[in-house]
Amino acid sequence: MYFLGRPVALFSGMDLVTRVNNMEFTMTGAGTTEYDVGTNNNNNNNNKTKETTKRPKGPKVFGSNNLMFEKNKARHLFLRQLIGSAMTPKALVDALPTIQQTAKDVIEQQVLKPMMAQSAATIKMEDVCVDYTMDIVRNQLLGLQLAKEEANDFREKLKDWMKGLFSIAAILRIPFLVTRSKPYKAKVFIESKLEEKIDSLLRDGPDSSTLSNMVFAIDDDKQQLSREDVVQNALLLVSAGAETSAGTLTLAMLLLGVHPDKFRKLVQEQQVVVENHGTQLTPSILDKECPYLDAVVKETLRIGPITGGFPRRVKDTFVIDGVQIPKDWSVFTSYRLTHQLDPVTALPNDAHMDVYQGFQPDRWIDPATTPSDFVPFGAGPRFCLGYHLSMMEMKVFLAIFARSVTSFHLQNYSAETKRPIKWNPSTIIPRPTDGVELHSIVEMAAESSTTCRPTTAS
């Protein structure tokens, strides 16, 4: 195929995708048109703490001086190690209570309370999921303790910034347009909050936030991230993590809404968990006691993954599986196509990717039906750094939702009508244009909340 006038070789299949991605830093390089890897030979520079990658100058809505755009192998590894150390399963043990409380607060405030107050309430689950991920950014990633009004303001600023992803200002990069744009102003505000927080961490010592881990992380050579590294990569985590997790959760709500039998199974699993272990979730409960929850999340990621990462520029002609890929072409590894062509799940007419026909979480329970080609978090040296955090975040939200609401109906889509889904064309993870509107005919669970009276509304 062609991308911005350049020939691109498209790859799919887990094995091939992994092999091609693994060629980065040797045969190919990360980059869109803005980075010509072929003429930039800094990949062999071993100075891991200093920036050597050439960056476009001027004000930007989304910066590129972070690990996602890092082309120097040693520095990329260094950044991954120190930033990633804040998101290992071990580091996340302390994060779970904050994440669970955030899910509980958002679901109570934005789903249960409006349902109780107004019998005909319609709730847009996309908004709920976006607010949840924004609150995780504030509470866990950045560890900002803000009063209610300030917290709401911060959430809106995060949303303003994220809207810049597809804005003219971000794409054209005309300084005059950029500095006047709402997303850029929001970014400056978020950066100022980050700077304040780093000052307080340096003054008062570490806390359990991801940002704190980044500030104090040290590698085997006793090297630390610079202040600029911390700020720019914290911004990366916000942008890489919020849209992806919120989009996947929104899609999960659509899938569970049109498959009430599957939602019922999720509810039953959580009822057993609460009976046996009480309400507090732990990493071990999520891993060992919630196989159906895990299956729902994986099945959602299978049906609606990111299309792929950035196209990589080919530095030297190479041959793979007997096919020659010429120098200066680009390669694109498609995660979406990999799922579409997975030999275990593939059905005629791509029915296995369809919202109505394809959603079968049970396929993940039996090894014989478990998909063999599954790469929603990428593969190779740029495998998603937020994998553990995002899985935890998504599972906790769905678990708390299934403990709070035992059945719900969608406004616009159902298994009976099988109305074709209208997809929003400008999102990274597929989301329907209506934002998954939840209709008010909802049964709330008895222990759904301490502040909401349990009820059955119809």
- Asked if 72 and 66 count as a contact pair (C-beta separation under 8 A), the reply is no
Least distance (Å) from ligand HEM to the CB of residue 203?
25
Least distance (Å) from ligand HEM to the CB of residue 356?
22
Least distance (Å) from ligand HEM to the CB of residue 71?
11
Q: What's CA 132's distance to the chain center, in Å?
A: 12
Site for ligand HEM in 369-388 (CB under 6 A): 376-378, 382, 384-386
63 sits near ligand HEM (criterion: CB under 6 A): no
Least distance (Å) from ligand HEM to the CB of residue 247?
7
Binding residues, as ranges, are 384
Q: Which is nearer to ligand HEM, 112 or 131 (CB)?
A: 131
245, 250, 334, 340: residue in contact with ligand HEM (rule CB under 6 A): 245
Cα–Cα distance, 180 to 150 (Å, whole number): 23
Site for ligand HEM in 68-87 (CB under 6 A): 68, 80
Nearest Cα neighbor of 313 from 16, 26, 19 is: 26
Q: Which is nearer to ligand HEM, 309 or 432 (CB)?
A: 309
164 sits near ligand HEM (criterion: CB under 6 A): no
Least distance (Å) from ligand HEM to the CB of residue 128?
16
330 sits near ligand HEM (criterion: CB under 6 A): no
Cβ neighbourhood burial of 220 (10 Å; 0-12, 13-18, 19+) = exposed
Q: Which is nearer to ligand HEM, 115 or 236 (CB)?
A: 236
Cα–Cα distance, 161 to 212 (Å, whole number): 22
244 sits near ligand HEM (criterion: CB under 6 A): yes
Least distance (Å) from ligand HEM to the CB of residue 131?
15
Q: Which is nearer to ligand HEM, 112 or 379 (CB)?
A: 379
Nearest Cα neighbor of 106 from 404, 410, 311 is: 404
Least distance (Å) from ligand HEM to the CB of residue 99?
11
252 sits near ligand HEM (criterion: CB under 6 A): no
Cα–Cα distance, 26 to 236 (Å, whole number): 24
Q: Which is nearer to ligand HEM, 240 or 398 (CB)?
A: 240
Binding residues for heme, as ranges, are 384
- Label the pairing between strands 2-3 and 6-11: antiparallel
9, 129, 190, 237: residue in contact with ligand HEM (rule CB under 6 A): 237
Least distance (Å) from ligand HEM to the CB of residue 413?
21
Site string for ligand HEM, 186-205 (x = CB under 6 A): --------------------
| Binding segment toward ligand HEM, per CB under 6 A, in 187-195, 243-251, 261-269, 280-288 | 243-251
Cα–Cα distance, 201 to 208 (Å, whole number): 11
Q: Which is nearer to ligand HEM, 115 or 394 (CB)?
A: 394
For residue 19, count other CB atoms closer than 10 A to its CB. 16
Cα–Cα distance, 360 to 295 (Å, whole number): 9
140 sits near ligand HEM (criterion: CB under 6 A): no
Please give the residue whose beta carbon sits closest to ligand HEM in the complex.
386
Site string for ligand HEM, 272-311 (x = CB under 6 A): ----------------------------------x--xx-
Give contact residues for ligand HEM (rule: CB under 6 A): 67-68, 80, 236-237, 240-241, 244-245, 248, 306, 309-310, 335, 376-378, 382, 384-386, 389-390
